Structure 1
Amino acid sequence: MAGVKVHGIPRSACTMRVLATLLEKDVAFELVPVNLMKGEHKQPPFLALQPFGLIPVFQDEDLTLFESRAIARYVAEKYEKQSASLYGSSVAERALIEQWIEVEGQIYAPAGHPIFYQLVIGPMRGVPTDMAVVEESLVKFEKVLDIYDERLGKAPYLAGESFSLADLTHMPLTQYLMNLPKVAPAFHARKNVMAWWDKISARPAWKKVIAMSSP
């Protein structure tokens, strides 16, 4: 085994998180497509890499990792000296970054995912949208955005003065939610959140991820 490989599909939010980290750190990689429609992620060769049958899977020489946030942390740490740091330069900076990575996984994503499922994933699978769930979830998500707007009124990025994994880990879901007419106004109504999103979504690495994920 040689080099860095990412097994996944570029439209997957979790795969996008890994690709963005690699591109930010200027790490060369090979994207190995996984055909979800054919169930390749549930077959023995893939399950040998990821026993839960989920994408992405990351390989770096003899190391195999899954879970996109863990992969992002690994890449940021191993390739710390390549390009700008994504993981802080002190214990305090890293603690703040970790705090917001945890917030993203435990609060932001659980608040936003039900909306995305009801408006996009469910209909793709033939499941009718439950607008009551959308409306209820949107109220909860806007309360989360209020806290983000307050935080981003005090600093340009979630963990302070510099772009970091704290921001990057939010980007895939935010991109998808921003594309939904039902949800986008919630972002636009919060100027600090929008200023933050405008900055981070304009980064060259993210633009490459979007290009890779486009049909």
Structure 2
Amino acid sequence: MALIKVHGHHFSTATGMVLCCLNEKQVEYDFVLVDLPTGAHKKPQYLALNPFGVVPTVQDEDLTLFESRAIVKYLAKKFKGQGTELLGNTLAEQALVEQWCQVEGQSFYPPASTILFQTVLFPLRGGTTDEAVVEINIGKLNRVLDIYEERLSKSKYLAGDFFSLADLQHLPWTQYLVTACKKGDLISSRKHVSAWWEDISSRPAWKKVAEKMPK
């Protein structure tokens, strides 16, 4: 029986991040579907696990965790020496992993998520896309990806020549940018970013997750 229990939804980017990490670390887990369309994440039973009412939530025996970036860091540390090493081996490598993880959370995620919400999620909920907001955030993301292009011209992955959490954290949002948002040109127009995306999105651990996400 798997010790790790993941409460989440396959459409959720944050859930996808955690599942990919577990796959990379070759950890068995039980997946518990939280039915977001029916509001299961706002019901008392789920709120007892995660008071913020979002997915995913992970249970590891007596430990309950939410916030996907904290969860993947915990998993990478707990299962060090198993599967893919995601944190770096030296202090310098670990510092670079942390640096680019922060870049993802602070600079890449905000415009990427806004583009997804505006172009896909708002219309699904009966709203209207604000094209001006989309263009502003495409501009922000272009500036971030220009920096990535320069970085990736010097190293295969963001933290160096090894795949790490810094790369993994980008997978769910970039997947949706390329597929659901139809903004693949943001990636393909940059030689090194495009090669990086082709590499990381082809990893078996991610493909298992992506095949269950909407296109």
TM tier relative to shorter chain: over 0.9
Query: 1:124 maps to what in 2?
Result: 124
Alpha-carbon separation, structure 2, partners of 1:113 and 1:48? 27
Within 5 Å, give how 1:133-172 maps onto structure 2: 133-172=133-172
Letter in 1 for 2:172: P
User: How much has 1:155 moved relative to structure 2?
Assistant: 0.2
Q: Is the 8 A contact 1:87 1:165 kept in 2?
A: yes
Deviations 1:95-139 (A, max 9, x none): 110111111011101121111111101101111111111112111
User: How much has 1:84 moved relative to structure 2?
Assistant: 2.5
Within 5 Å, give how 1:104-123 maps onto structure 2: 104-123=104-123
- The alignment's C-alpha RMSD in Å is 1.5
Q: Higher mean Cα deviation, 164-173 or 203-212?
A: 203-212
Within 5 Å, give how 1:8-47 maps onto structure 2: 8-47=8-47
Query: 1:74 maps to what in 2?
Result: 74
| Residues 19 and 44 (structure 1), Cα distance of their counterparts in 2 relative to 1, 3 Å cut | same
Letter in 1 for 2:84: A
Alpha-carbon separation, structure 2, partners of 1:192 and 1:79? 31
Partner SS state of residue 155, structure 1: coil
Query: 1:196 maps to what in 2?
Result: 196
User: How much has 1:92 moved relative to structure 2?
Assistant: 1.2
User: How much has 1:213 moved relative to structure 2?
Assistant: 2.8
Deviations 1:148-183 (A, max 9, x none): 101100100000010000000010000000115652
Q: Is the 8 A contact 2:16 2:172 kept in 1?
A: yes
Letter in 1 for 2:69: R
Where in structure 2 are there 5+ consecutive unaligned residues?
none
Q: Is the 8 A contact 2:118 2:134 kept in 1?
A: yes
Deviations 1:46-76 (A, max 9, x none): 1111011110000111111000011100111
Letter in 2 for 1:162: F
Partner SS state of residue 58, structure 1: strand
Letter in 2 for 1:130: D
Alpha-carbon separation, structure 2, partners of 1:27 and 1:81? 12
Alpha-carbon separation, structure 2, partners of 1:10 and 1:67? 16
Partner SS state of residue 82, structure 2: coil
Alpha-carbon separation, structure 1, partners of 2:178 and 2:99? 24
Query: 1:59 maps to what in 2?
Result: 59
Alpha-carbon separation, structure 1, partners of 2:118 and 2:175? 16
Within 5 Å, give how 1:64-103 maps onto structure 2: 64-103=64-103
How many residues matched?
215
Alpha-carbon separation, structure 2, partners of 1:172 and 1:110? 13
| Residues 2 and 27 (structure 1), Cα distance of their counterparts in 2 relative to 1, 3 Å cut | closer
Letter in 1 for 2:98: E
User: How much has 1:214 moved relative to structure 2?
Assistant: 5.0
Where in structure 1 are there 5+ consecutive unaligned residues?
none
Q: Is the 8 A contact 2:116 2:181 kept in 1?
A: no
Q: Is the 8 A contact 2:2 2:29 kept in 1?
A: no
